[in-house]
């Protein structure tokens, strides 16, 4: 397959206003080459979606500023920013507001927007890391040289140094420091300037102010022939701040979101089959439904589609959580991001680009990672008030020490600089998102999709688990149970008739019979009763007892059934069982061992529900329950103060899932976006639910620990800085260490040893 690369869409400067093709101008912060409408996806319901990258997003405090600027506009349905991927997702009604207006609301805040490009994601992070390393090298080299000069002045080793020599050393230090500060401080200065232009404050404003104040104060002292300058402190301060920011970037890279990992699976192009049988490479943006794509062995599948030619094994682990490869052949569904292992495949495209299952999972993951749980809202409120508070504290510290503390203005200003540095709210802003990102990523690897941002928080409080039966505890796929009691002719005839129906029991008959000879007769289906065909002038029926004329008795058997009635012969019974999931019994035992109450609510017959409950060891169960009955039971449990986890089929049990305190659903890949559950369990087993419960509890504990770390740091560091006991250098180290400590604590989620579970 020929490699297709995506050209960088960013121009050297934004297009001039008079050449703008749309009515709304998004401002100078737009880095696209055309109208934002060119990147908009139109939805079937008349709404639109747009994904962008916020290029200068560094601080958790910026997220509510961006989202708040957009959500206040008419027609906006959703605006969501992901800190890890810097992705801004917009959902709105185009009839009420234009794309340019939405972008303008963000760019006027001082942020730079670019078209979303998954291929540029990793490269952008690498470039940021290189820029920080270059700035760090310049600051470190300058600090080392200035320190040599400062030692000569401060140590007293040169006892006969006169004012002229000292002044010369100060000027040499200034010549080294000024260009070093101008270059190495750019990561902070640019961010602070952008914030101020947007009439807002971010974490880089006090940092930039502290560095500039220290440098300016030293320059004034040097020009006036003063004895004390602080060029070494200013440059060393930058050096330590850059070390902290680089380490923070690397550590957060280790906690890279599940969404970001999945984005890297997006293909940039595909080999499309042409009418003459050859293939040509096309960018994903040009792939359309109905095209045929060739995927060689060892390549990732670039689109969603159906296999039209070839057989192979597919590794779906990164998309569905299944560890074993899945065999696929003619007609099999296949999804973007999966890996073709053994043979070439020709696939008819059913979805490409942002319409694929992979793109939908990415959007769900980002929504969960940046979800607004109670903890996140608390951290956001605290982070919003820090900016005025930190400047007030710094100014108060300067005035108090200068007026009443007996210090000169230089020493008082250094105390204010230390306060500006030490009160950064990054640790508080990262306390919850860092844990959410780690938790969502871990669960994705175990086959659990987190759809709700506050789902993990609620999952940690669960004390009762309520299961549906069909498709949840069972596989939702009935199989013939009495095959040994049937003759080949009976099974063959029944399967030939059943081939005309899509009913689950009819499909099970066909699977059990294998290949059967097509029936040379018309088959009619009576909904709710069964099938009928005229064979050799006789009315042959396949269906319920009533439909087939079998004497109606109370059916206490735990199987579902079909009957075959051929005139002149005894009716033949076909019994079906919906097999339990292999790990269902182990999961129920694990839940009960942890002290959770377990119930079964089934819509099936009493005999079937009873057998399942007895087999799994569930003492409390109910059968023949309609959706309204299930909701009533959940409401009764809630009235008792119970926190209920409802586990049910994602489509059939949607009302009950929505009514529960928190919900989970085993679902097929294609159903992911349709289910009403907070969590979606992929694959054939239920054991990932145990992992989700354990991660939920652990996440809550880590969030509380992070809050304690962040608040404890500020409670100790701020008073010490105001008391003059913390130098700017120590403040820079402490501020960086607090952010790194919070992120490392979140990463402990991946280091905790697994306890016994199914």
Rg of the chain in Å (alpha carbons) = 33
The 10s digit of each residue's pLDDT in 690-716 is 989 998 888 888 888 888 888 888 788
> Higher-confidence residue: 135 or 196?
135
Q: Which residue has the tokens 């996440």?
A: 699
The 10s digit of each residue's pLDDT in 270-319 is 888 877 777 788 888 788 888 889 888 888 888 889 998 888 888 776 55
Which residues are designated catalytic? 468
pLDDT of 201 higher than 80: no
The 10s digit of each residue's pLDDT in 164-182 is 777 888 888 889 989 999 9
Q: What percent of the chain has pLDDT over 70?
A: 77
H helix runs in 155-306, sequence order: 163-184, 186-197, 204-223, 231-254, 258-263
The 10s digit of each residue's pLDDT in 46-66 is 888 888 888 777 666 677 778
Task: Tell if the pTM clears 0.75, that is, is over it.
Answer: no
Q: In the structure encoding, which two tokens stand for residue 424, read together?
A: 């950064």
pLDDT of 90 higher than 80: yes
The 10s digit of each residue's pLDDT in 131-175 is 888 998 998 898 888 877 776 666 554 445 677 777 888 888 889
The 10s digit of each residue's pLDDT in 474-531 is 887 788 888 888 998 899 999 999 988 877 788 889 888 887 777 878 888 887 678 9
Cα-Cα-Cα-Cα dihedral sign, residues 141, 223, 415, 426: negative
pLDDT confidence band for 29 (50 / 70 / 90): low
Cα-Cα-Cα-Cα dihedral sign, residues 216, 220, 222, 223: positive
For residue 112, what pLDDT is reported? 79
What length does the chain have? Answer: 758
* C-alpha pair distances (Å), 701 with each of 348, 461, 707: 47, 12, 10
pLDDT confidence band for 464 (50 / 70 / 90): very high
């Amino acid at each position: 397959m020929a490699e297709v690369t995506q050209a960088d869409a960013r121009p050297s400067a934004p297009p001039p206003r008079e050449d703008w093709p749309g009515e709304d101008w998004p401002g100078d912060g737009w880095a696209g080459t055309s109208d934002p409408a060119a990147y908009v996806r139109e939805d079937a319901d008349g709404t639109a979606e747009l994904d962008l990258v916020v290029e200068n997003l560094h601080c958790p405090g910026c997220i509510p500023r961006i989202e708040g600027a957009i959500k206040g506009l008419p027609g906006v349905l959703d605006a969501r920013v992901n800190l890890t991927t810097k992705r801004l997702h917009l959902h709105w009604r185009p009839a009420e507001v234009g794309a340019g207006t939405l972008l303008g609301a963000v760019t006027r805040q001082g942020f730079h927007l670019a078209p979303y490009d998954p291929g540029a994601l990793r490269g952008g992070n690498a470039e940021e890391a290189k820029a920080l390393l270059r700035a760090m090298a310049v600051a470190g080299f300058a600090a080392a040289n200035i320190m040599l000069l400062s030692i000569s002045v401060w140590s007293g080793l040169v006892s006969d140094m006169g004012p002229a020599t000292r002044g010369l050393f100060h000027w040499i230090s200034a010549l080294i420091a000024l260009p070093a500060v101008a270059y190495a401080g750019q990561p902070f200065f640019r961010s602070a300037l952008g914030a101020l232009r947007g009439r807002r404050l971010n974490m880089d404003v006090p940092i930039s102010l502290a560095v500039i104040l220290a440098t300016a104060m030293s320059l004034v002292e040097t020009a006036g022939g003063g004895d004390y300058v602080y060029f070494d402190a200013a440059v060393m301060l930058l050096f330590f701040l850059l070390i902290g920011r680089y380490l923070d970037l690397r550590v957060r890279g280790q906690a890279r979101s599940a969404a970001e990992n999945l984005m890297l699976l997006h293909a940039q192009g595909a080999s499309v089959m042409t009418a003459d049988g050859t293939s040509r490479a096309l960018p994903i943006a040009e792939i359309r439904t109905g095209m045929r794509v060739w995927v060689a062995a060892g390549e990732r599948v670039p689109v969603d589609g159906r296999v039209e030619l070839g057989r192979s094994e597919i590794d779906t682990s990164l998309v569905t959580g299944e560890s074993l490869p899945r065999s696929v052949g003619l007609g099999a569904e296949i999804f973007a991001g999966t890996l073709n292992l053994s043979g070439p495949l020709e696939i008819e495209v059913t979805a490409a680009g942002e319409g694929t299952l992979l793109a939908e999972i990415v959007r769900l993951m980002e929504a969960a990672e940046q979800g607004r749980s109670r903890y996140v809202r608390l951290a956001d409120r605290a982070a919003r008030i820090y900016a005025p508070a930190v400047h007030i504290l710094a100014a108060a510290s300067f005035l108090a020490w200068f007026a009443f503390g007996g210090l000169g203005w230089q020493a008082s200003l250094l105390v204010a600089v230390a306060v500006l540095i030490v009160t950064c709210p990054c640790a508080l802003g990262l306390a919850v998102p860092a844990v959410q990102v780690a938790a969502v990523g871990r669960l994705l690897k175990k086959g659990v999709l987190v759809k709700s941002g506050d789902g993990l928080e609620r999952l940690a409080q669960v004390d009762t688990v309520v299961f549906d039966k069909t498709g949840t505890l069972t596989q939702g796929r009935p199989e013939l149970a009495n095959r040994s009691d049937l003759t080949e002719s009976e099974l063959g005839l029944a399967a030939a008739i059943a081939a005309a129906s899509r009913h689950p029991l009819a499909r099970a008959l066909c699977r059990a019979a294998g290949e059967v000879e097509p029936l040379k007769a018309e088959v009619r289906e009576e909904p709710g009763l069964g099938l009928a065909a005229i064979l050799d002038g006789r009315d042959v029926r396949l269906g319920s007892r009533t439909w087939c004329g079998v004497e109606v008795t109370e059916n206490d058997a735990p199987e579902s059934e079909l009957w075959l009635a051929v005139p002149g012969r005894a009716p033949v019974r076909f019994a079906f069982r919906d097999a339990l999931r292999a790990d269902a019994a182990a999961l129920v035992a694990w839940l009960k061992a942890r002290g959770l109450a377990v119930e079964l609510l089934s819509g099936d017959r009493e005999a079937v529900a009873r057998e399942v409950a007895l087999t799994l060891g569930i003492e409390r169960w109910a059968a023949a329950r309609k959706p309204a009955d299930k909701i009533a039971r959940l409401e009764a449990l809630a009235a008792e103060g119970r926190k209920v986890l409802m586990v049910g089929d994602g489509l059939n049990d949607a009302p009950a899932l929505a009514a529960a305190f928190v919900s989970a659903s085993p679902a097929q890949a294609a159903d992911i976006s349709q289910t009403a559950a907070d969590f979606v369990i992929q694959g054939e087993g239920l054991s990932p639910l145990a992992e989700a419960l354990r991660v939920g509890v652990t996440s809550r504990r880590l969030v509380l620990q992070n809050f304690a770390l962040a608040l404890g740091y500020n409670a100790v560091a701020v008073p010490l800085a105001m008391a003059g006991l913390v130098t700017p250098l120590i403040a820079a180290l402490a501020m960086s260490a607090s952010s790194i400590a919070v992120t490392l604590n979140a990463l402990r989620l991946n280091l905790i040893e697994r306890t016994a579970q199914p």
